[in-house]
Structure 1
Amino acid sequence: MTKRDVVFPAGRQALYERNRYSPAIRSNGFLFVSGQVGSREDGSPEPDLEAQVRLAFHNLTSILEAAGCTFDDVVDVTVFMVDPESTFETAWKVVPEFWGSAPHPTLTAVGVTWLYGFDFEIKVIAKLPESAAG
């Protein structure tokens, strides 16, 4: 097996190493990003839902930037929400700040019962720009 080409955002490598997973892996011209939550620097959840969603997008953006990407390079999105019936509208108010203009990436939304104290998680697959495809 070839060694994984891991992408770490600035300042959060210890958090990922402590939790034993990679924030993102470059492979075959794509960037596969692990689910990002609205965690503070210490890894704890941001308690306000709207702020938590915004922070999840900021954490995602940091990883995309570390790989030479932007949200415009994202081709597929999966979001997970605890109790989506009551959280969807609040969470989705934040999306236009980061989503960009059409055509938008594909989207799968999944309602879950538990996200380790978080209410929202987003994972993506992005097409690496030719210069970042490594």
Structure 2
Amino acid sequence: MATRNVVFPAGRQALYERNRYSPAIRSNDLLFVSGQVGSREDGSPEPDLEVQVRRAFENLNAILTAAGCTFDDVIDVTVFMVDPESKFETIWKVVPEYWGNAPHPTLTAVGVTWLYGFDFEIKVIAKLPGTTAQTQAA
């Protein structure tokens, strides 16, 4: 098996090693980012929902930055929300602060019952800078 080309954000490698997963993997011209939650530096959940969502995006942006990307390089997003019916509006008012410019990435939102004490998680696939995106005219 080939060695995985892992991307670690500054200062959080021990957290990922303790939990036994990679924050992101480069593969060809894509960056696959693991789900990011609104954790504090010690990995514990941020209790305030808006702050938790901001922390999730900050954790995501730290990984994107470590790979030389921004949110504008993101092509696909999956978000997970505990109890989306009651929390969606609170979560979605924070999203534009980080979302990037139009055209926006594709999005899949999934309602879940449990996220290890968190209420929001975001995972993305991004195009690595300096690579050629394959596009097709509509």
Both proteins in one fold, TM over 0.5: yes
- SS of 2:114's equivalent? coil
The count of residues paired between Structure 1 and Structure 2 equals 131
Q: Measure, in 2, the Cα distance between the counterparts of 1:102 and 1:13.
A: 32
The amino acid that maps onto 1:3 is T
Q: Find runs of 4+ consecutive structure 1 residues off by over 3 angstroms.
A: none
- Which residue in 1 is equivalent to 2:57? 57
Q: Deviations over 1:63-89 (max 9, x none)?
A: 000000000000000000000000100
Which consecutive unaligned segments of at least 5 residues does structure 1 have? none
Shift of 1:117: 0.1
Shift of 1:114: 0.1
Which consecutive unaligned segments of at least 5 residues does structure 2 have? 132-138
- Which residue in 1 is equivalent to 2:94? 94
TM-score, normalising length from structure 2?
Answer: 0.94
Q: Measure, in 2, the Cα distance between the counterparts of 1:69 and 1:129.
A: 6
Q: Deviations over 1:68-111 (max 9, x none)?
A: 00000000000000000001000001110011221000000000
Q: Measure, in 2, the Cα distance between the counterparts of 1:9 and 1:94.
A: 22
Q: Measure, in 2, the Cα distance between the counterparts of 1:80 and 1:116.
A: 12
Shift of 1:42: 0.1
TM-score, normalising length from structure 1?
Answer: 0.96
Shift of 1:130: 1.5
- SS of 2:68's equivalent? coil
What is the RMSD of the two structures over their aligned residues, measured on CA atoms?
A: 0.7
